[in-house]
Structure 1
Amino acid sequence: MPAVGAEPPAGQTKTRPNIVVVVADDMGWGDSGTFGNDLIQTPNMDRLAAEGVKLTQCYSACGVCSPSRSAILTGRTPYRNGVYRHLSGKHDAHLRDSEITFPEVLKTIGYETCHVGKWHLLSAQQFNNPDFPQPDKQGYDYYMFTQNNAEPSHKNPDNFVRNGVPVGPTEGYSAQLVAKEAIHWLTDLHDPKKPFAMTVWFHEPHSEIATDPRFEALYKGHKNSKYMGNITQMDNGLGMVLDALDALGVSDNTLVFFTSDNGPVPAYGGSSGGLRGNKRSQYEGGIRVPGLARWPGKIEPGSVSDVPVIGSDVFATTLGIVGVPLPTDRTIDGVNMLPALQGKPVARKIPMFWRTHVSGPNERVAMRIGDWKIVGDETLTQFQLYEIQQDWKEQNDLAKQMPEKTEEMKAILIKLWADIAAEGPHEWWEHERQKPSKGGKLNY
């Protein structure tokens, strides 16, 4: 692994915090009671909010799952780290061994590491294939994962692989199976003398949805009872992990961060909470997601922060709180978001950036600086401008009213994209360049 900077002082090793990053799959900003849904019960998300901070402007790094997950691990915007698209079918793209993940860094200073649940950083033909980097090559001591979704559904999935060995048929529902595996590692396999970093990536509420009757029954009579119950099913899995941390006596020294990989799918019942757009969109509904964090003694219980944060901040945050400098041989797009978790501003040298690859001439690019957000089409010739704090539903395009501001943001966006494209493995996406709409020229 390339050098990541100097080893922190030896005295810090005794107080290094544990880190747990929990990710829901396709959960929208409006898909929980915690974030204002009047029907969906999420008591364990409520618990995290009561014991920590609710992040009202938390973003995924992309409008689809594989890229946003790659950014969580590497701190690098997806086109820069190479996972530019949803990894389905046969594609070259994958999370490369040359990328540095935060578990990989933490292992070098004595952490034990574990991943349970969805992975989706390899395509189907690369999954559990030793010719491509599996989680053990990305810094994990132990893993139980799936390539993408729980199959054939959340009920009795049969596609888990544990440390390279297929698990085979299971009994139960995905969230509880994932949580039980996390608890098994924590209680039976992890060395309690060492700090740990764990990623728990639930499959819910992604299709194919299957919901335990005990959770679906909470919403009897509602047309979306299965979906709403599926959110509560995921929340229950979250609670199982939180209970295990309490039982082991490590909650007080553990940073728990909860988020989603992208916005919702309305066809299955998902809600963006009034935001414009949904999954695959660069509008707020596709990328603004639930965000919660708890770290007793460091984060004020019951607090709310409207400071914008993004999934790619997780990498810099984990390294920052353990005292390890960021890598100096590559661009890290994210920043240490601990100030934001405490309701304070964060300083960003690189703006928040999104580009989502979808089929057809519908790819959109977006960038946010402060309260200003610019959205561009796939040709980088058509632009919209929004003042997000004042217009969080993105109903008032200010591009024509404020041409100077639009040009300023446009120039920054185009320069940033050129920098990202030059650093990333552009040969992976060049063959998938989309046809320009309305005769425009693609600015790849």
Structure 2
Amino acid sequence: MPSKTKPTRSRLLLAGLLFVAAVAVQSTASAADRPNVLVILCDDLGYGDLACYGHETIKTPHLDKLAAEGVRLTDCYSASPLCSPARAGLLTGRTPSRSGIYSWIAPRNPMYLKQDETTIATILKGAGYDTCHVGKWHLNGLFNHPKQTQPDDHGFDYWFSTQNNASPTHRNPKNFVRNGEPVGELEGFSCQIVANEGIGWLKSRGDTDKPFFLHVCFHEPHEPIDSPQELVDDYPDANRRGEALYYANVANMDRAVGSLMQALDELDVVDDTLVVFTSDNGPETLNRYSNAWRSHGSPGPLRGMKLHIYEGGIRVPGILRWPGRIEAGSESSEPVCSVDLLPTICELTDLPLPKGKPLDGASLVPLLEDKPVKRTKPLFWHYYGAFHNRQVAIREGDWKLVAGWDQTPDMPTGGSLKPGIVDALKRSELKHFELYNLREDLAEEHDLADSEPERLQRMAEQARQLYQEVIAEGPNWEFPAARGRKQN
């Protein structure tokens, strides 16, 4: 349980500065010799939403070109089947439930990424990088408030962000904050605004010899969706309500990626920059809630969508480009996950891994040399509010285990954290095991639990051990007492 004494903004900043100083002392290599890193994260982009991943209608020429210049990952995963945990996992290299980011973070929710969590930005800033976050943050319930950490508390020198979605829609949003100051209404579409802010930051840096880490988090194609009319008009054959709007939304995001790639070219840093493109989870389900009528995302051949622990909820597009280090036009079926990004960047920059907390990711540097990734533990996912009471999955090689838990009643699907949920997690155990061979059964249609009893038993024990370890580490957040009565 967190202390009842709330951290002040000055205390949070002091703790962050002390950690950055510690990292800087350990770093001896020249910052100028290290690669730049550009991470582009989409919101609710499905595995099948890009032309280079098989969509037959949506036009994504810039991302298709990016894939042709690098490696297209066929077995790329997010750390979670929904937004806030996925972002925590990507930045920390840790299964998000370890850090207490159990679900999406509603405004004023007590969940936030604590100061003692080490992020990619904190590590790179301590090693002399310029760091910038633009777009969706969604790692606190008290956005731009001193009682919880903000992007600058986690290593970002410059930030231009929203708590969650662009509001009121992607068109002319009015809820961005730049370095702690609300910006007011902006003209244009969110992905273009976010990309332009990142490009402006890149071009205005004082010392261009310093490497940079730019984290671009698009709101697209999350609801509430809005798109340029000229792009909507590109899809005259889309006849379902909201379909053309969705297709145009993905195409508009693709345009923004094109702007970012052009900026790297203009700055002559293409060969010095690792570009990572991916999504935070699978596509939103059409009409799951009233504003989701424009959500026509595709999981491709996968089972499930957002909020599912099946492949459609966690397997996402993944593209890596780094000329000279990654073979152009290549493809990899090596299972990789966003939690792998932190250890990968640490190895590429010759920086030490953070100590004191368990990491779940593995370095992908062997993949750049067409070698298998070396893992000491299987890939692991946990989300208590997933569909059909299936909350845990692990993948080892071609095999995937899916598991539910023993609590009754089941948790409400998709809800943010509420009082009592963490207590239930900490006393729960796994059951309802399913087993799939993903190489032979990508759609997870054939449960092999009965025909592979030894494999099932071994993987179930792995899942139980990891689950108990992760849940034991996760904090139990303190909710404010309800007005007029004591909160249990």
TM-score by length of 2: 0.85
Report deviation, 1:404. Answer: 1.3
Give the match's secondary structure for 1:236.
helix
**Aligned residue for 1:432?**
none
Trace 1:2-151 onto structure 2 (pairs within 5 A). Answer: 7-10=26-29, 12-123=30-141, 126-151=142-167
Report deviation, 1:351. Answer: 1.5
Change (3 A) 1:360 1:227: closer
**Aligned residue for 1:264?**
283
**Aligned residue for 1:169?**
185
What is the number of equivalent residue pairs in this alignment? 427
Q: Which runs of 5+ in 2 are unaligned?
A: 1-17, 287-294, 407-429, 480-488
Q: C-alpha distance in 1, partners of 2:164/2:370?
A: 35
Q: C-alpha distance in 2, partners of 1:375/1:6?
A: 43
Check if 1:194 corresponds to 2:244: no
Report deviation, 1:36. Answer: 0.6
CA RMSD of aligned residues (A): 1.8
Q: C-alpha distance in 2, partners of 1:413/1:344?
A: 26
Trace 1:225-244 onto structure 2 (pairs within 5 A). Answer: 225-244=244-263
Letter in 2 for 1:189: R
Report deviation, 1:192. Answer: 0.5
**Aligned residue for 1:384?**
434
Which residue, out of 348, 352, 370, partners 2:397? 370
Report deviation, 1:89. Answer: 4.2
CA deviation string 1:320-362 (max 9, x = no partner): 1100111221111111112224432101112211111328873
Change (3 A) 1:352 1:409: same
Letter in 2 for 1:206: H
**Aligned residue for 1:349?**
376
Native 8 Å contact 1:156 1:169 kept in 2:
yes
Change (3 A) 1:290 1:342: farther
Q: C-alpha distance in 1, partners of 2:217/2:377?
A: 27
Q: C-alpha distance in 2, partners of 1:323/1:145?
A: 30
**Aligned residue for 1:437?**
none
Change (3 A) 1:189 1:293: same
Which residue, out of 423, 437, 443, partners 1:393? 443
Check if 1:406 corresponds to 2:406: no
Q: C-alpha distance in 2, partners of 1:317/1:359?
A: 29
Which deviates more from structure 2 when the two are superposed, residues 137-146 or residues 87-96?
87-96
**Aligned residue for 1:307?**
334
Change (3 A) 1:34 1:361: closer
Give the match's secondary structure for 1:100.
coil
Letter in 1 for 2:305: N
**Aligned residue for 1:283?**
310
Report deviation, 1:13. Answer: 3.0
Change (3 A) 1:196 1:190: farther
**Aligned residue for 2:421?**
none
Q: C-alpha distance in 2, partners of 1:24/1:359?
A: 20
Which residue, out of 360, 366, 374, partners 1:333? 360
Give the match's secondary structure for 1:219.
coil
Check if 1:209 corresponds to 2:236: no
Change (3 A) 1:360 1:298: closer
Native 8 Å contact 1:5 1:327 kept in 2:
no
TM-score by length of 1: 0.93
Report deviation, 1:181. Answer: 0.2
Give the match's secondary structure for 2:323.
coil
Report deviation, 1:93. Answer: 1.1
**Aligned residue for 2:13?**
none
Q: C-alpha distance in 1, partners of 2:334/2:382?
A: 21
Q: C-alpha distance in 2, partners of 1:313/1:98?
A: 19
Q: C-alpha distance in 1, partners of 2:387/2:67?
A: 39
Q: C-alpha distance in 2, partners of 1:193/1:14?
A: 6
Q: Which runs of 5+ in 1 are unaligned?
A: 430-444
Change (3 A) 1:415 1:161: same
Give the match's secondary structure for 2:313.
helix
Report deviation, 1:221. Answer: 2.7
Report deviation, 1:90. Answer: 3.7
Change (3 A) 1:190 1:122: farther
Q: C-alpha distance in 2, partners of 1:127/1:378?
A: 33
